[in-house]
Structures are given as C-alpha cells and as structure tokens.
Chains A and B, each alone.
Chain A
Amino acid sequence: MATTESEILAVTGNEAVAEAMGQIDPDVVCAYPITPATEIVQIYAQMVADGKVGTEFVTVESEHSAMSAVIGASAGGARTMTATSSQGFALMWEVLYVAASYRLPIVMTTVNRALSGPINIHCDHSDTMGGRDTGWIQLYGENHQEAYDNCIQAVRIAEHMDIRTPTMQMYDGYVISGAIGPLQMLTKEQVQKFIGPYHAINPMLDTKHPVTVGPFDGLHGWFFEHKVSQNRAMERALTVIQDVADEYAELSGRQYGLLDPYRLDDAEVAIVVVGSTAGTTRMVVDKLRAQGVKAGMVRVRAFRPFPHAAYAKALEHVKVVGVMDRADSFGAQGGPVFLEVRAALYDSDPRPQILPIIYGLGGRDIFPDNIEQAFAVLQKAAQSTKPTSTERRYLNLRKD
C-alpha cells in the first residue's frame, strides 16, 4: 500500500540524497567535500547549522580522516553516514576494509566519478568498482528517486542484525548528481519509523562494559575465520536486501530487487548495465522490440553481494548477453560486471554467449545509437553459427 501522496519535486541527485540523510538524521556525519558529491555535504552542513537535524557534523581534513572518524563514531555507538566520490573514495581505501571487518554499519553515498589520470572529474564507475572487494555492500542506483530510496534502505540493510556490514550506495556523477530529476519523498516520520532506533553492538561509549575494538589478531589468530564470517554475512545480505526492499515497497509503492530486469522473459539478446544508462537502454529495447527484435535488459542494483544465482536464472535462456561496463579491469577478460555475469552463467546449460562492452569512461557520452550498435553486435552473434570473439567492444571510442 502506497502511503505517500507527496508532490513530485524537481531536485538534483545530490539534493535527493541530502534530503534522505536529513530525514534519517544520523548521530554523526564526517565528510570532506569532493566533486561531484560536494553538494550533499554542503546541504547537510546547512541543515546542521539551521538546527534541522540533530547530527554532530565533523569537518575533517581528508577522506581518509572522514572514514576514520565515522569508524570511530560508529564503534562508539553512533549511527553514522558520509559521502564521497572518486579520489576521495580512493583515499578512504585502507580504512574501508577496516570499517567492513569491524562490522560497523556505516552508510556511505558514493557519487560515481572516474579516477585519475589523466585527471577527469566526470562519471564512470572505476572508483567504486575498484572498491568492490573492500567488504562493503554495494547498491547501484539508476536515478534521483532511487538515490533517495537506496539511501534510506541502506540504513536498514547495514544495521540488520543478520549481517552488520557497511553499505555504500552509488549513482552516476553529473548525470544524476547534478542534473535535475523527479523525486517523491516520504515524510520524516515515515523514514524514522522505517529505519527504527539505532542499536549499537558493543559500543565503546558504554563505559560500564569496556571493550577493545580492533585488536591485533595475533600471529596465529582468527583473521581467516573473521574473513569467512564477513563472506557469510554477504551471502545472508542477499535475503536482507530483498526483504528491506519489499518492506520499503509497502511504504513507498516503489519496488526494488537485487537486479532489475526489463522485457527479459522471451529475450534472445540482452544487455546488462549499471546506473543511469539503464534508462537509455530501456528506450532502445523498446525501439528494437517495435522492430521485432527480441531485446531485453538487466540493470544491476546489488553488486556486492552479487546475486549470481539470480543472474543465471534471469539470463540463461538468452542467446547472447552483452555486459556494459563503465569501468575497465586492465588485463582482465573484461570489465568487473562482465566478469561477474560470465562467471554466474558458467554452469548454465545451454549457456549464453557473454560479450564484454566498455563505454562511458571518464564521462564519454553514451547515445541511444551506441546502445543500438551494441545490440547489433549481439544480434549478429546470435545469428552466427560460429562463436563470436570475446574481445572488448568499445562504444563511442574515437578510432585510430
């Protein structure tokens, strides 16, 4: 049952997330500004200054400090959030692993932006795709509404007692972060009721029960067991993410899943894509369907944990799958999403052909024509009797 009858607002993606954070009203936010995530932190700082939230806002001197400070606050027993992008995310790197291994339910918004160099401030997914093994849950959103919705759901997911794992939610820099799009908000009361009060586990500020957080695990300690524990939590997170999405759907009327299939049931060719390009791809799918092409699409929502069984089920009847990566893994067989999807379908019989496609690096435009070109490659492969080369295809790349 949708309980919202709120008006539709025109906001930037960053405004949408700042509003979500304001409604979540976490205990502590530690952040450092970086394009294109700055606006989130800027708006939030204004909310703090205006007394609209009760958050302790800690201005820090770098993203390494931002993540370290939220780790400290979270270990202390606070509900914590932060936001970053690109180089800032990269600077957090070593402490991201610490947050995840301490099982601190921190929620971070990362606005996707390319990593230098050459220096570039535009959208691609190389920042967070590089952080996919830090042990954080990763949710990739498509648009303004989902940026807002994922931010709220991330709190419930990260804090879920079955998993207690920090969660980062992403959306495309500029395309979503800075461009205006539609947003329907819940009320603060609805959000507060949905996320519930914060329950800390072994908080350091409970002085009656002193604890040691982050001890050295010894030369023959339990590091290995703790890593396995993190991975078991990731497996359980698949259920948690879906449960939280279902509960959120009852509240908002907007249903999300681990992945987001489109016209896939009878598809012969399909594209897997992350982020805002899904909107363009849907349009191209509709156009091709009108021409009689059995085209479909899957948008990636949860990338960590990666719901491999769901991908196998969704795609195993498709003849050729093109996986569009907005980040590359140099020297690997394809981009990060390609590698996951291809591995997920290895045990399927019959097994679709799966081809790597790279696009949009450093904010290179992606036009409907480019996606049609990608579908043309998939259709040709589907009609061919010989296996098609699995070399990378690049969309909108200048030729030598």
Chain B
Amino acid sequence: MTVEKKAVAKKPAPLQKPRAAKVAAKKKPTWDIGDIDTWGPDRHELGATIIEAGNSVFNETGGWRSEVPLIDSEKCDGCMLCYFYCPDASIIIENNKAVGIDLEHCKGCGICAKECPTDAIVMKTDEKE
C-alpha cells in the first residue's frame, strides 16, 4: 500500500471567479433546459443533440470529481501547459500564472498535475461536505 503524499501546497490564492462563471454571467442560455430533469420523451432534441454550443458554462459538470488539483502559484513559471491540456478549460490564469481551478467544471482527471513541469500542481483527495 502506498502512502498518499500529503499535499504541501500553501494556502492557494483566493479563487477568482471562474472564466465559465464570468461567461455565464454575461450571456443567457438561448436553449432553456432549466427544468430538463422533468422532461418526458417528447421534449428532447432528436438523438439527444445539444443545440447550444458551450452550454456547459451554465451547468456544473464537476460533480463526479474524486481528486482536486491544488496549485502553488509561486512555483508556477507560466508555461501554460496545464491550461492547454485541461480537457475542461478549468485552469484559471491571471497575470500569466495558474492561480486557481474552476471547480464547477474540473473533473479531477489530474492531467494538469501530470503535465506541470515545475510540480506546481498536486492532486489531493477532494473532501466534499
């Protein structure tokens, strides 16, 4: 059994408002699926097609995460690899440094931590309330 490495990152910088949240605040969904949980068979688009591009900004999709990246911005050298590799566009960059994670969309895949050349990102068990 391997002992889980303790995350030693300092307290991360206070989370900025995620990019997705900013976008969501600016635009409104044109495809209203607010009550989709109640939709019966006849209300859906044929073939489950998603007819509004980028509508994940309106929806929290990170709920199934079991690990969460922890960023030490002081170690970050601004190479942007985490930003480019992230499949969910969840890395928050400010002043050319990774400063936080959009936790509404991060699924905890760990690619950012794997790619980070300066070990500025470590994965930690996501302890949910």
Give the B-binding residues of A (Cβ under 8 A): 101-104, 164, 201-202, 209-215, 217, 219, 221-222, 225-226, 228-229, 232
The CA of A232 and the CA of B49, in the complex, are separated in Å by 18
B42 on interface, CB distance cutoff 8 Å: yes
16 contacts between A and B (CB under 8 A): A103-B46, A104-B47, A164-B46, A202-B45, A202-B46, A202-B49, A202-B51, A211-B53, A214-B48, A215-B48, A217-B48, A221-B48, A222-B36, A222-B44, A226-B48, A229-B46
User: B39, A222: Cβ atoms under 8 Å?
Assistant: yes
User: A226, B44: Cβ atoms under 8 Å?
Assistant: yes
Give the A-binding residues of B (Cβ under 8 A): 36, 39-42, 44-51, 53, 64
- 14 new A-B pairs (CB below 8 Å) besides A202-B51, A229-B46? A102-B47, A104-B47, A209-B51, A212-B50, A214-B48, A214-B49, A215-B50, A217-B48, A219-B64, A221-B48, A222-B44, A225-B40, A226-B41, A226-B44
Chain A to chain B: the 5 pairs with minimum beta-carbon distance, closest first: A102-B47, A210-B53, A103-B46, A212-B50, A228-B41
| Nearest B residue to A216, CB-CB | B48
A226-B41, A229-B41 in contact; A211/B46 too (CB < 8 A)? no
Tell which of B41, B42, B50, B53 has the most Cβ of chain A within 10 Å.
B41
Tell which of B41, B45, B46, B50 has the most Cβ of chain A within 10 Å.
B46
User: A232, B48: Cβ atoms under 8 Å?
Assistant: no
Q: Could you say which residues of chain A place their CB within 8 Å of the CB of B53?
A: 209-212
The CA of A68 and the CA of B48, in the complex, are separated in Å by 18
The CA of A215 and the CA of B56, in the complex, are separated in Å by 12
User: B47, A213: Cβ atoms under 8 Å?
Assistant: yes
Secondary structure call for the A interface: loop
| Nearest A residue to B54, CB-CB | A210
Tell which of A103, A213, A229 has the most Cβ of chain B within 10 Å.
A229
Q: Could you say which residues of chain A place their CB within 8 Å of the CB of B46?
A: 102-103, 164, 201-202, 229
Secondary structure call for the B interface: loop
Q: Could you say which residues of chain B place their CB within 8 Å of the CB of A228?
A: 40-41
Q: Could you say which residues of chain A place their CB within 8 Å of the CB of B49?
A: 102, 202, 211-215
Q: Could you say which residues of chain B place their CB within 8 Å of the CB of A221?
A: 48
| Nearest A residue to B46, CB-CB | A103
Which residue of the partner chain, among A164, A209, A225, contacts B44 with CB atoms under 8 Å? A225
Q: Could you say which residues of chain B place their CB within 8 Å of the CB of A226?
A: 41, 44, 47-48
The CA of A222 and the CA of B46, in the complex, are separated in Å by 12
The CA of A235 and the CA of B45, in the complex, are separated in Å by 18
| Nearest A residue to B43, CB-CB | A225
Q: Could you say which residues of chain A place their CB within 8 Å of the CB of B51?
A: 202, 209, 211
Q: Could you say which residues of chain A place their CB within 8 Å of the CB of B47?
A: 101-104, 213-214, 226
The CA of A80 and the CA of B44, in the complex, are separated in Å by 24
The CA of A213 and the CA of B46, in the complex, are separated in Å by 10
The CA of A209 and the CA of B54, in the complex, are separated in Å by 11
Q: Could you say which residues of chain A place their CB within 8 Å of the CB of B40?
A: 225, 228
The CA of A249 and the CA of B39, in the complex, are separated in Å by 40
The CA of A211 and the CA of B52, in the complex, are separated in Å by 6
User: A222, B50: Cβ atoms under 8 Å?
Assistant: no
A212-B49, A214-B47, A214-B48 in contact; A229/B39 too (CB < 8 A)? no
Q: Could you say which residues of chain B place their CB within 8 Å of the CB of A101?
A: 47-48
User: A229, B50: Cβ atoms under 8 Å?
Assistant: no
User: A232, B42: Cβ atoms under 8 Å?
Assistant: yes
User: B45, A229: Cβ atoms under 8 Å?
Assistant: no
